[in-house]
Amino acid sequence: MPRVFVTQEVSNKNISPAEEYGELVVLLPPGEGPVIDTTPVIERLHDKLQDATVDDYLLLIGDPVGMAMSVAVMSDLVDGDFNMLKWDRQEKKYIAVHIDIYLV
């Protein structure tokens, strides 16, 4: 079953519609960031994303620095070929976006 890696736990957002794409796995706790020493955060992201596959999804929410680090680590671990979820306001649901940064 695919997983949805949620960049950060945010208490005032309902992300349960993302469960349609897989099990929700929170990468960073609430309030983590912005950070000066990124090493512990990068280590935590590597640990939680170590077995990510092209079938999994990344849902960006929370601190922008945490989101950027999550994308960088995910991209590195899956050779630049991964999926993200984007909220569609009109349809009121998440839609999948496939990213392959080495397509060119």
- pLDDT tens for each residue of the chain, 104 residues long: 899 999 998 888 899 999 999 999 999 988 765 567 888 889 999 999 999 999 999 999 998 989 999 999 999 999 999 999 999 999 999 999 999 998 76
Query: CA of 55: how far to CAs of 27, 58, 77, in Å?
Result: 17, 10, 13
- Cα separation of the two ends of the chain: 30
Exposure letters 81-100 (e unless 16+ CB within 10 A, then b): ebbbbebeeeeeebeeeeee
8 A C-beta contact, residue 9 and residue 29: yes
